[in-house]
Amino acid sequence: MRAWAVDRPGPAASHPLRLVERDVPVPGPRQIVVRVAACGVCRTDLHLAEGDLPPRRPLVVPGHEIVGFVEQLGEGATRFRVGQRVGIAWLARSCGVCRFCRAGRENLCTDPLFTGWDRDGGYAEHALADEDFAYPIPEGFGDEEAAPLLCAGIIGYRALRRSRVEPGGRLGIYGFGASAHITAQIALAEGTRVHVLTRSANARRLALDLGAESAGDAYDSPPEPLDAAILFAPVGSLVPVALSALDRGGRLAIAGIYLSEVPPLDYERHLFEERELCSVTANTRQDGLELLEAASRIPVRVTTTPYRFAEAAQALEDLAADRVDGAAVLRFD
């Protein structure tokens, strides 16, 4: 099968991916092999390709927003049938026995595996998954629209919950790409007032079109104090900006796996009056199930920019340059 692998990490414009030939994976016990129909292009893939996120092994195949059809079942695999449409997300396996897994916090597992980092991902014609870590895809979403839900959606959903914003509250969203535009719709459906702050004029227009109260530049002040904020942009200099925008008792959740250096914080301006700062790490399977249910019920409108499989390098380059509206998605048709 054909696959794109991370060859020499470097700037996206240097084309760090290489097209390789791989054997179609063979499923082990309780595993499935999926013929990939679409794979979202996540900012985590960009961090991996550019070297911000060190590859776990040479020539790993990125991609963890995978939608496809079950082609093979391993021994004892009974959760899905051959031909069924499924999704494969970032969390590929958790140990199930560490104290975090036992407490229902498998996103903090001490011995996890991740799709597109430890295990080859979806920039390939086939992908392997443990059946317990795959998801049935709701009807109503095409392959292209469903793919971003599997990371952008799930991580955004977890970040929204970590922000602790309540219905009717005031939420600031910093950066407005694939994850943020899904998260904003869930927050709006819950009655939250959403203020978007992003450097992209196109993203600001999309935010307003989706129902945001306001949309300004990333370093602007929102028109009212915020009860909570989520930082999606991997820009550490926005941390004090977002903290300064919080009302007393507000909370900032940082959603990304990578963040550039955070400048020094001033206790009185940024943290006093019980303002809080927290991070978001991976996801639990329950996060994924809840997100897919909410996305189907609302329903969430997923904005995508499609690329052919052969255009994977261009998709990463466009993502790095903020030339993507909504979510970039590789298509395999």
Q: Do 169 and 145 reside in the same domain of the chain?
A: no
Which whole number is the average pLDDT over 289-309?
Answer: 97
Q: Which residues pair with 214 in a beta bridge?
A: 195
Q: Of the residues 243, 261, 279, which one is the last residue of a structural domain?
A: 279
Q: Which domain holds residue 199?
A: 153-279
Burial of 29 (0-12, 13-18, 19+ CB in 10 A): exposed
Residue 325: the pLDDT is 86
Helix (H) or strand (E) holding 291: helix 285-297
> Residue 198 sits in a domain of what CATH number?
3.40.50.720
SS3 of 126, please?
Answer: strand
Q: Do 7 and 145 reside in the same domain of the chain?
A: yes
Q: Do 224 and 262 reside in the same domain of the chain?
A: yes
Q: Do 144 and 6 reside in the same domain of the chain?
A: yes
Q: Do 91 and 174 reside in the same domain of the chain?
A: no
Do residues 44 and 90 lie in contact, with contact meaning Cβ atoms separated by under 8 Å? yes
Q: Do 291 and 205 reside in the same domain of the chain?
A: no
Q: Do 242 and 287 reside in the same domain of the chain?
A: no
**What confidence tens digit (pLDDT) does each residue in 174-228 have?**
999 999 999 999 999 999 999 999 999 999 999 999 999 999 999 999 999 999 9
Q: Do 45 and 144 reside in the same domain of the chain?
A: yes
> Residue 74 sits in a domain of what CATH number?
3.90.180.10
Residue 114: the pLDDT is 98
Residue 333: the pLDDT is 79
Q: Do 164 and 145 reside in the same domain of the chain?
A: no
Instruction: Kindly provide the b/e burial profile for residues 240-255, where b requires at least 16 CB atoms within 10 angstroms of the residue's own CB.
Output: bbbbebbeeebbbbbb
Q: Do 126 and 163 reside in the same domain of the chain?
A: no
| CA–CA gap between residue 271 and residue 265 (Å, rounded) | 8
Residue 49: the pLDDT is 97
DSSP E strands: which ranges in 232-332? 246-254, 276-279, 304-308, 327-331
**What confidence tens digit (pLDDT) does each residue in 183-192 have?**
999 999 999 9
Please state at what angle helix 178-189 crosses helix 201-210, rounded to 10 degrees: 20
**What confidence tens digit (pLDDT) does each residue in 229-263 have?**
999 999 999 999 999 999 999 999 999 899 999 99
Q: Do 132 and 15 reside in the same domain of the chain?
A: yes
The DSSP secondary-structure symbol of 284 reads: -
Domain total for the chain?
2
Which whole number is the average pLDDT over 309-324?
Answer: 95
Q: Do 56 and 93 reside in the same domain of the chain?
A: yes
Phi, psi of 290 (to 5 degrees): -65, -40
Q: Of the residues 243, 264, 279, which one is the last residue of a structural domain?
A: 279
